[in-house]
A and B are shown apart, each in its own frame.
Chain A
């Protein structure tokens, strides 16, 4: 029986798989891996929205969504279906091409950035040396989606939201970049995999201790970059309705929503990889309690919790204060810390603390 099955499998392989050209086979295998990353990611995005509503509900002494399915667990699916059935409106005065292309411009980079994320020591789709550069490049492209959406809508609220949001994202991008330079100086590699390997050996080796100011700057800039509360003036529902995506409806809006949450998870994962030791357990033991991937996921969930907690706790920042924080506090702090790392490395015996 099993022989028959084996024969059938090899027959199918000979007939369908072997005649394919080599690059195509490679591409198919990659596509399989990509789906293995993408589908859990999209599921995580869906349930992050649920977790957010539940958590904020509890923090405000409400119950949160609890009607759809047992304890509300089917809520994200109901939301997706509802958005699917809503009309996609393209305003008369909008630039139609730009209007349609904007959501794609914001989702594609926030998903494609996951190609270089190392999940465990062996689990990484594209182990390229320039992975950090690639991440920085792709997260910068996200701002195009915002500004094109705001411009193409030809609506005042959308325009104001896009201007604010673009200036804010661009400002915090600098602080973020400088924070990354600090990590590079400590790890000596642009490869995310190498950066995690450099943090091996218990939590005292993780970079959040020697690079603590950069850790804070990076994480808070990440919150600002994703336009999350308390830096969500781009949406500012009490002043400019919904900001850059006010004219979007139905699935076109859902794409923006998806991109925002995928970006949140990406920032959280990058924070974990660069400052919180990636897939390593906090204490090195001779036996393994959890597999490395669980450690990574637990840490990511922990960081994501802060995103949600911030939203429930802090009132929205005023715009001038946001810009002040980005330019006058974060940038000088990161610059100074880069100099501190350099001086400590070359002129004091404390250099090993930073490596």
Chain B
């Protein structure tokens, strides 16, 4: 498969990648430095979508394939840790901003 064919074949994905790069940059735009840490933490939780990949791997593994089952199991645990831990930590940080506002 030549390079051009590869691009043609995956053009939809390539468009998504390009557009998302710009969306990512524009969305962050001007963040007050106060919010750098929570923002980093929230972004950290969002890349936990990788857990979906581990769920797919796990769900496709054949019953006897222990290599895939065990590694996939760990992948699901780690990915979930990333998602759940990430969102909970971010919420804890932001909760304190809110308390202070109310006063």
A and B co-occur in one complex: no
Chain B contact residues, CB within 8 Å of chain A: none
Chain A contact residues, CB within 8 Å of chain B: none
